[in-house]
Amino acid sequence: MRFIFKTSYDQDIHLVRHEGQRFWYGLLLVALLAAPWLLPDYWLAQLTFVFIYAIVAVGLMLLAGFTGQFSIGHAAFMGVGAYTEAWLAARGWPFPVSLACAMGLSAAVGVVVGLPALRVKGMYLGIATLSFGFIVEEVLARWESVTGGSAGQSVKPMALFGWAFDSDRAFYFVCLVCMVLSTLAVLNLLRAPTGRAFVAIRDSEVSAQSMGIHLARYKSLSFAISAALAGLGGALYAHKMTFISPDQFNLVQSIDLLLMVVIGGLGSMHGAFFGAIFLIGAPQVIALFKDLLPPAIGQATGLQAVVYGLVLIAFVMFEPMGIHGRWLKIRTWLELYPFYRRGMFKRQKSFQKSERLK
């Protein structure tokens, strides 16, 4: 089976590059489809959270990794999507309609937030998105008639044609389908002229503009798509948690999301999934080894934040391409062994490269 799309230039676009990828991706899909019958409920829930955060990571990767626009307030888009879905679900709206509204409203807010990106970039854009995150958190806490305020609100199970997705297994498959469709959509977008425009803006705004790329249009579009995917993840997150409150979409959550794509590997779609696995799996590993540490360290407050910080520093200093970059080096070592030479990657550029051109 060939996955082929046509662009405006009438080029064949293969979402699966070769037979090896088709085999391994197919095997992974079979394993994910069989997981609900093989895994305990706890690990199935953790895998569901990986899917949800992977959707958000794919959107943030499109914005930060492929367009070069950093956001430190991305949890706000998740909050908009989560509260929109909760409000509409409480009034009996069908799940596909409420989900589309959550994504649409998040995208509209993303366009508004993307407006500062037309005039500022780098650290100043990060400050602008950070300020927006504080504003959204405050609105969610103060608008009690809609959001329930700081007390939060419960979320009804998703329903479609009278069938409620109230079981963990049914919700798992919903998240799996949403993740696969989101990933395929972004992959197709990156292979289209729009995706090339995003990468051109990331590499050099001056060069992109000289080639006729409308910076304002494509930056706003990147923010809108990224925010829509964050809204989708927020809507699924709300149904999974069954209860939401403003403090679930605060600055810490935004930093975790940015940490997720940086550690996973900026400029890599694989990095979005590696980052989601890290974000969900790291607390489990920390809890596992906490009892083995001295009590003064293992029981210390903020141990998880310290570990996250150390991991981030280690990747920035020794592996700028993240987990995916390290995997590429391991794979190259396996392919070239015993002809692999030390220092082969010393001249690699620390700036992220797009998988689209590989």
Arithmetic mean of pLDDT, 179-186: 92
- Residue 251 — pLDDT band, cuts 50, 70, 90? confident
Tens of pLDDT along 257-270? 888 888 888 888 88
Fill in the amino acid letter for 80.
V
Whole-number average pLDDT of the chain: 81
Least confident among 3-12, 28-37, 250-259: 3-12
Note whether 305 and 255 are within 8 A (CB).
no
Of 132, 118, 135, whose CA–CA distance to 71 is shortest? 132
Q: Does the pLDDT at position 247 exceed 60?
A: yes
pLDDT for 55: 94
* DSSP secondary structure, 342-355, as one string: TTTTTTS-SS---G
Of 227, 261, 276, whose CA–CA distance to 73 is shortest? 227
Mode of pairing for the β-strands spanning 153-154 and 12-14: unpaired
- Residue 116 — pLDDT band, cuts 50, 70, 90? confident
pLDDT for 102: 92
pLDDT for 165: 67
How distant, in Å, are the alpha carbons of 1, 181, 225, 231, 245 from that of 105? 36, 20, 11, 8, 19
Of 77, 69, 73, whose CA–CA distance to 134 is shortest? 73
The percent of residues in the chain predicted with pLDDT above 90, rounded, is 18
Least confident among 58-72, 134-148, 151-165: 151-165
Q: Does the pLDDT at position 23 exceed 90?
A: no
Note whether 109 and 54 are within 8 A (CB).
no
Least confident among 157-171, 216-230, 303-317: 157-171
Arithmetic mean of pLDDT, 42-51: 91
The percent of residues in the chain predicted with pLDDT above 70, rounded, is 86
